[in-house]
């Protein structure tokens, strides 16, 4: 198992190095920008209408703030911070796991989970979902120790509870994973186990966080209610399709669980990993999107489940079964690694074409409106353009995620006057207060329930917005996007 552990760690190291070659994900770039704007005095959920709970913005504010003080690259600092978590979490998980697992089993399981984290979706690195599973893993291994009736130092238990609480707080859907862990521990160690230090800490953090949000960010609940009503129309995928893929992953995880359960040494941890995997699959289905980064935690939990099965079976001395999971898992890791690095250049090429056109927009920003805010009538050209240019973001929304709902409901004959008024008022306010230098208008939307939607006609249907548009003139076109520039800006600065 030592050679396979080294191979898994090498895969993780390759994945970590690849992080710095890969472009920052659209969502991560936007949240980093939100953090910078909050540090500059804008009010979350008032000036910035962001549907996510505030914790991720505060976490992003750490590298953003350090970058502001030192002049360092905030993207690099964010990646270094996330990679530091990807090192600290496995070390803590291994330290806890070796208290009740054979050392080779603990090391291999942790190494595979780390490799899966770093290579599962390299373009999604530092997304909330990936950060959550990294922060949760020491708590998962601690649950195994509790089921095995092995003590954990209080400081380590509290640290694991803090990390788990912060990870789960990133998204409400993640609470399912914490509940799954608690049920497993209670089933194996009795109801008294719910009073263990790490559980009290994790749940205490969640309660304090809820109180903090209610006290400091009460406006969040109005934005969340708006998102609950309309966001399901944004990039939807049928839950039946998500459930079908989830069922495949669940079957793979179940196979690993059965193999691991056959080895007494792995029984304390196997049910915890399996239940967490199932809970995370359910969270993806409930979100109804199926974005690649939504699946990362399930991949990591399932990879850890298979690694535990492979290591436990291989060390039990039962041939021929012991070689099967190890070989399959090694092949899966190799495929993950190849995929991660074969797609790095392809990812950059994707940013050059629809819907991003990164280089084309970046050249225009730097030559025709350097340092000016940009306002895009679709999310794609706004990020990562703002991340990789001198532009700032000129909208209170990350994207026009209300428009798919408005259009689909209108096509069904429903009354959408209230949401239409809300969107147009927000656009008018942004154009007046943020005064963007460039407007990037998608002339031929292809996705998100907006095929055939005319952004210009929609904006001009409102008198106030139409008056603002009179201040802009056509500058050029980039692919399917029309670029409008504010008429008082010089051609070259």
Give 240-302 as a 3 state SS string: HHHHHHHHHHHHHHHHHHHHHHCCHHHCCCHHHHHHHHHHHHHHHHHHCCCCHHHHHHHHHHH
Residues 221 and 255 in one domain: yes
Nearest to 79 by CA among 37, 126, 36, 111: 126
- Distance (Å, rounded) from C-alpha 276 to C-alpha 414? 40
Nearest to 449 by CA among 489, 409, 394: 409
Residues 6+ positions from 289 with CB-CB distance below 8 Å: 235, 236, 237
Asked whether residue 320 is assigned to any structural domain, the reply reads: yes
Residues 302 and 269 in one domain: yes
Residues 390 and 322 in one domain: no
Last residue of a domain, which of 295, 315, 342? 342
Residues 103 and 238 in one domain: yes
- Residues found in the chain: 493
Asked whether residue 183 is assigned to any structural domain, the reply reads: yes
pLDDT for 464: 96
Q: What confidence tens digit (pLDDT) does each residue in 387-422 have?
A: 888 999 999 988 888 998 999 899 899 999 999 999
pLDDT for 341: 43
- Distance (Å, rounded) from C-alpha 294 to C-alpha 24? 16
Residues 322 and 285 in one domain: yes
- pLDDT band per the 50, 70, 90 thresholds, residue 381: confident
pLDDT for 451: 86
pLDDT at 272 over 90: yes
Residues 390 and 256 in one domain: no
**Structural domains in the chain (count):** 2
Percentages of the chain per state (helix, strand, coil), in multiples of 5: 70, 5, 25
Asked whether residue 347 is assigned to any structural domain, the reply reads: no
pLDDT for 65: 96
Nearest to 390 by CA among 357, 442, 431, 437: 437
pLDDT for 333: 53
Residues of the domain holding 288: 2-342
pLDDT for 93: 97
Residues 315 and 401 in one domain: no
HSE-CB for 455 with a 13 A CA cutoff: 25
For range 127-154, the mean pLDDT: 95
Residues 6+ positions from 119 with CB-CB distance below 8 Å: 11, 12, 14, 15, 18, 333, 336, 337, 339, 340
Query: Please, what is the average pLDDT of the chain?
Result: 88
Largest CA distance in the chain: 78
Q: Cα separations (Å) of 125 from 15, 253, 350?
A: 10, 23, 17
pLDDT for 261: 92
Q: What confidence tens digit (pLDDT) does each residue in 157-198 have?
A: 999 999 999 999 999 999 999 999 999 999 987 778 888 999
More confident residue, 346 or 276: 276
pLDDT for 43: 94
Q: With pLDDT > 70 as the criterion, what percentage of the chain qualifies?
A: 91
Cα 475-477-482 angle, rounded to 5 deg: 80
pLDDT for 329: 58
For range 132-139, the mean pLDDT: 97
pLDDT for 483: 95
Last residue of a domain, which of 342, 373, 404? 342
In this structure, what are the phi and psi dihedrals at residue 42, rounded to the nearest 5 degrees? -75, 150
Q: With pLDDT > 90 as the criterion, what percentage of the chain qualifies?
A: 61
Residues 193 and 149 in one domain: yes
- pLDDT band per the 50, 70, 90 thresholds, residue 46: very high
Asked whether residue 221 is assigned to any structural domain, the reply reads: yes
pLDDT at 42 over 90: yes
At 56 the three-state DSSP class reads helix
- Distance (Å, rounded) from C-alpha 427 to C-alpha 222? 18
- pLDDT band per the 50, 70, 90 thresholds, residue 289: confident
pLDDT at 328 over 70: no
pLDDT at 88 over 80: yes
HSE-CB for 166 with a 13 A CA cutoff: 17
- Distance (Å, rounded) from C-alpha 140 to C-alpha 96? 10
More confident residue, 89 or 345: 89
Residues 217 and 251 in one domain: yes
- pLDDT band per the 50, 70, 90 thresholds, residue 321: low
More confident residue, 228 or 100: 100
pLDDT for 323: 54
pLDDT for 415: 92
Number of Cβ within 10 Å of residue 67's Cβ equals 20
For range 114-126, the mean pLDDT: 84
Number of Cβ within 10 Å of residue 312's Cβ equals 30
Surface-to-core class of residue 99, CB atoms within 10 Å of its CB (0-12 exposed, 13-18 middle, 19+ buried):
middle
User: Token pair for residue 123?
Assistant: 């373009």
pLDDT at 315 over 70: yes
Asked whether residue 445 is assigned to any structural domain, the reply reads: yes
Asked whether residue 234 is assigned to any structural domain, the reply reads: yes
490 within 8 A of 367, measured Cβ to Cβ: no
- Distance (Å, rounded) from C-alpha 376 to C-alpha 358? 13
pLDDT at 339 over 60: no
Residues 336 and 401 in one domain: no
- pLDDT band per the 50, 70, 90 thresholds, residue 493: very low
For range 69-88, the mean pLDDT: 95
pLDDT for 348: 55
pLDDT for 237: 80
- pLDDT band per the 50, 70, 90 thresholds, residue 476: very high
pLDDT for 138: 97
- Distance (Å, rounded) from C-alpha 71 to C-alpha 94? 36
Query: DSSP letter string over 325-389?
Result: HHHHHHHHHHHHHHHHHHSHHHHHHHHHSTTT-HHHHHHHHHHHSTT-EEEEESSTTTTTTTTTS
Residues 361 and 463 in one domain: yes
pLDDT for 351: 65
Residues 229 and 115 in one domain: yes
pLDDT at 337 over 50: no
Asked whether residue 491 is assigned to any structural domain, the reply reads: no
Last residue of a domain, which of 276, 309, 342? 342
Asked whether residue 298 is assigned to any structural domain, the reply reads: yes
């Amino acid at each position: 198992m030592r050679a396979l552990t080294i191979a898994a760690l090498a895969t993780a190291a390759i994945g970590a190095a690849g992080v710095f070659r890969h472009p920052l994900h659209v969502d991560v770039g936007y949240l980093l920008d939100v953090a910078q704007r909050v540090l500059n005095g804008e009010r979350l959920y008032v000036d910035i209408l962001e549907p996510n709970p505030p914790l991720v913005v505060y976490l992003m504010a750490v590298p953003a703030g350090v970058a502001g003080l030192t002049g360092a690259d905030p993207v690099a600092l964010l990646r270094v911070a996330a990679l530091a978590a990807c090192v600290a979490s496995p070390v803590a998980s291994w330290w806890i796991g070796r208290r009740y697992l054979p050392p080779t089993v603990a090391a291999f399981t942790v190494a595979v989970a780390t490799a899966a984290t770093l290579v599962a979706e390299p373009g999604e690195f530092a997304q909330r979902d990936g950060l959550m599973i990294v922060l949760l893993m020491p708590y998962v291994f601690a649950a195994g120790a509790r089921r095995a009736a092995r003590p954990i130092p209080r400081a380590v238990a509290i640290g694991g509870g803090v990390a788990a609480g912060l990870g789960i707080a990133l998204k409400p859907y993640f609470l399912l994973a914490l509940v799954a862990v608690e049920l497993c521990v209670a089933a194996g160690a009795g109801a008294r186990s719910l009073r263990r230090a790490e559980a009290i800490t994790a749940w205490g953090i969640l309660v304090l966080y809820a109180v903090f949000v209610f006290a400091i960010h009460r406006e969040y609940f109005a934005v969340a209610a708006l998102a609950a009503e309309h966001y399901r129309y944004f990039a939807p995928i049928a839950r039946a399709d998500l459930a079908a893929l989830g069922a495949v992953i669940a079957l793979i995880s179940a196979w690993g669980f059965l193999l691991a359960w056959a080895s007494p040494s792995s029984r304390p941890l196997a049910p915890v990993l399996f239940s967490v995997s199932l809970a995370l699959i359910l969270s993806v289905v409930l979100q109804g999107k199926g974005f690649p980064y939504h699946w990362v935690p399930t991949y990591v939990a399932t990879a850890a489940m298979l690694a535990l099965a492979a290591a436990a079976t291989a060390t039990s001395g039962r041939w021929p079964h012991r070689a099967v999971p190890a070989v399959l898992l090694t092949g899966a890791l190799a495929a993950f690694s190849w995929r991660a690095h074969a797609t790095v250049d392809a990812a950059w090429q994707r940013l050059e074409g629809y819907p991003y056109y990164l280089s084309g927009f970046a050249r225009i920003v730097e030559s025709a409106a350097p340092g000016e805010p940009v306002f895009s009538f679709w999310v794609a050209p706004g990020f990562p353009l703002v991340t990789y240019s001198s532009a700032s973001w000129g909208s209170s929304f990350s994207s026009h995620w209300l428009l798919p709902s408005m259009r689909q409901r209108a096509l069904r004959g429903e009354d959408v006057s209230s949401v239409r008024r809300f969107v147009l008022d927000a656009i008018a306010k942004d154009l007046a207060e943020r005064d963007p230098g460039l407007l990037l208008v998608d002339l031929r939307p292809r996705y998100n329930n907006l095929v055939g939607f005319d952004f210009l006609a929609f904006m001009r249907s409102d008198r106030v917005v139409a008056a603002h548009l009179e201040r802009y003139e056509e500058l050029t076109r980039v692919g399917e996007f029309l670029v409008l520039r504010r008429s008082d800006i010089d051609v070259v600065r």
